[in-house]
Amino acid sequence: MKTDQTDHQVNVLLVDDEPDAYLVLNLTMKKVTSPLINLDYVCDIGSAVDRVKEDHIDIVLLDNRLLPNNDFRETAPQLRRAGYLGPIGIVSSDISGSYFDEFQEFGVDFRIGKDEIDGAAISFIISEYTKDQLSAECADDFK
């Protein structure tokens, strides 16, 4: 049994060193009518670590390459070491590299190409990776 997706807000943190990515994703998120999505943005992994420690974040969308780190294999584990247990999705303009096959070994839950992100993809990600997929009894554990 799923909980009603309209009864809460989903907090999404975008971590990307290109501010334009936030503007584009914010417009895309507005196309999703339910649940209400609060998109927040930081431009580096240090700020992302601080945010996941301070605030309730439901999903982290992490750009594959953030300077000075090489790629998600260095950044995603930093979020896990900070205690973030929620879903992490890697966002990249090119997800064809063979190292993307190892994403789960680095604490990543999913990967998506920037060109694949639209309202339907966002709705699917939220339904699959937030507490909405849990029964009401289990979802209470995440409050």
d(C-alpha 29, C-alpha 120), whole Å: 10
Q: Are 93 and 71 in contact (CB under 8 A)?
A: no
> What CATH number is given to the structural domain containing 134?
3.40.50.2300
In angstroms, the CA 120 to CA 48 distance is: 26
Rg (Cα) of the chain, in Å, rounded?
Answer: 14
- Is the pTM here over 0.75, yes or no? yes
Q: What domain range is 37 assigned to?
A: 5-142
* Number of compact structural domains in the chain: 1
pLDDT tens-digit series, residues 94-143: 888 887 888 888 899 999 999 999 999 999 999 999 865 444 555 555 55
